[in-house]
Amino acid sequence: MPRSEFLPFSPPYLSEKEIEAVAAVLRTDWLSSGPKTKEFENTFKTMTGAHAALALNSATAGLHLAMVLHKVGPDTEVITTPMTFCATANVVEHVRGNVVLADIDPETLLIDPKEIEKRMTKRTRVILPVHYAGHPADMDAINALAKSGGAFVVEDAAHCMASKVGERWIGAGDNLTMFSFYANKNLTTGEGGMMTGPEALVDEARMLALHGMSRGAYNRFAKGGTWKYDVPVPGYKYNLTDIASAIGLVQLSRWEELAARRLKIVEVYEKAFKGHKHLVPLKTRAGFTTCHHLYVIQLNLDTLTIDRDQFIEQLAERNIGASVHYRPIHMNSYYAKKYGWTPESFPNSARAFERMLSLPLSSRMTETEAGDVVEAVEDICVKFKR
Ligand SMILES: *Cc1c(COP(=O)(O)O)cnc(C)c1O
């Protein structure tokens, strides 16, 4: 039976606890960054084993700060993946740096270290891998390349709340690492982000994130604080509010429940799609733990009479929401024009883009709903098989 109600792609999963926590903050005097934000940072730091953590109003803000801190500018290059959200590349443009793309592994859709190596020059300032879909990039290889080339590594962990390389959490290393709490991410605060990394760099980021002032509001207006401050650099306005942090703290306390529910949905999909004739799920590698941010499949277009866009339309007709992650960076008009890229410049990304879609996945979904998705996918494959 097709669904009678639309199944959204990835709605947030909030409980009464988050709602109560926000109401409690509204009854205090601290709406902006204050005690809740401090607590959110400390809890996140403890959970991931990070050296230091800084709450920000988005992951994009954190990526921008990382570019500023690592002095990316006109004569420098940042190597990143075409298969990412535009923000990853946009921040390089914001500081007038140059985006250099390294193509992906066609099975994992993660940036390929061999492609990075080919593109390293004296101007390479930062390597910026993305832990695509929640699966960690090959950090040992990437860290080694950066070290040999005198470059920094900045990790875009927007998908990657609670993923591990071996026994180490993403965010616990020496690279500046950015997490996102945007509405559809694994853990949400509506809008928000977290930077982790070495203490000295995160301290500098803290100042830049609040106008470049030497003292935050909490240190100026709380008891024992002082109004005095200096502005040694013109900074930005990237701090997270206590309202958002209160949501984040509850989401962190529910983390195991959220992750377990997500895993159940993934298991339904894995069972149904293993060895499938018409589609290929994303490959994950041994030794890495993924947080399953996205469930991405690639269609075997040779075995179907419809293309990817039509497949998504067919899902919508069956009341299933789907999405595509992502239109590769080089296929967006700004980047194509500035750098003279064609789709074939990064063939693995272009090929994956043509056949990829992301099926509904969230902690809110039930296994019955996952079963509906499987049924719709099978129905479409039968109807449109070549
Ligand atoms: C969501 C996302 C971002 C941006 O996160 P915001 O918190 O919305 O700024 C950056 N990179 C990737 C890969 C993302 O998915």
Q: Which tens digits make up the pLDDT trace of 76-122?
A: 999 999 999 999 999 999 999 999 999 999 999 999 999 999 999 99
CA 193 to ligand 1 center in whole angstroms: 9
16 by Cβ neighbours in 10 Å (0-12 / 13-18 / 19+) ranks as exposed
Structure tokens at 188: 């949400």
Residue among 63, 78, 85 whose CB has most ligand 1 atoms within 8 A, to mutate: 85
Q: Closest by alpha carbon to 217, among 35, 4, 346?
A: 35
Q: Return d(Cα 84, Cα 12) in angstroms, integer.
A: 21
pLDDT at 224 over 90: no
Nearest ligand 1 atom to the CA of 159 is: 15
Residue among 180, 194, 240 whose CB has most ligand 1 atoms within 8 A, to mutate: 180
Nearest ligand 1 atom to the CA of 293 is: 15
pLDDT at 218 over 80: no
Of the CA atoms within 13 Å of residue 204, those in its CB half-sphere come to 13
Q: Closest by alpha carbon to 263, among 133, 159, 363?
A: 363
Residue among 54, 57, 60 whose CB has most ligand 1 atoms within 8 A, to mutate: 60
Higher pLDDT, 313 or 214: 313
Q: Check residue 166 and give its pLDDT.
A: 86
Q: What is the pLDDT of residues 5-30, one digit of tens each?
A: 999 999 999 999 999 999 999 999 89
Residues 46, 34, 192, 27, CA torsion sign: positive
Nearest ligand 1 atom to the CA of 63 is: 10
pLDDT at 214 over 90: no
Residue 185 falls in the annotated catalytic set: yes
pLDDT at 1 over 80: no
Q: Check residue 164 and give its pLDDT.
A: 87
Q: Return d(Cα 64, Cα 76) in angstroms, integer.
A: 15
Query: Which member of 45, 185, 277, 383 is catalytic?
Result: 185
Q: Return d(Cα 80, Cα 97) in angstroms, integer.
A: 12
Q: Check residue 284 and give its pLDDT.
A: 86
**What's the mean pLDDT in 323-351?**
98
Nearest residue by C-alpha to atom 2 in ligand 1: 158
Q: From residue 267, how far is each of 153, 292, 385 by CA, in Å?
A: 33, 11, 25
**Sole residue written with tokens 């992750």:** 259
CA 81 to ligand 1 center in whole angstroms: 14
Whole-model pTM: value is 0.97
CA 89 to ligand 1 center in whole angstroms: 11
Q: Return d(Cα 70, Cα 92) in angstroms, integer.
A: 11
Q: Check residue 382 and give its pLDDT.
A: 98
Specify whether the CB–CB gap between 349 and 317 falls below 8 A: no
Q: Return d(Cα 48, Cα 252) in angstroms, integer.
A: 11
pLDDT at 157 over 80: yes
Per-residue pLDDT band for 4 (boundaries 50, 70, 90) equals very high
DSSP, res 220:
H
Nearest ligand 1 atom to the CA of 192 is: 7
Residues 253, 257, 261, 267, CA torsion sign: positive
Q: Check residue 305 and give its pLDDT.
A: 98
Q: Mean pLDDT over all residues of the chain?
A: 96
**What's the mean pLDDT in 136-145?**
96
CA 221 to ligand 1 center in whole angstroms: 32
Across 74-78, 229-233, 343-347, 369-373, least confident range: 229-233
Structure tokens at 58: 């988005």
Q: Closest by alpha carbon to 129, among 103, 167, 96, 147?
A: 103
Specify whether the CB–CB gap between 65 and 205 falls below 8 A: yes
Q: Return d(Cα 280, Cα 355) in angstroms, integer.
A: 10
pLDDT at 165 over 90: no
Per-residue pLDDT band for 219 (boundaries 50, 70, 90) equals confident
Q: Check residue 286 and give its pLDDT.
A: 87
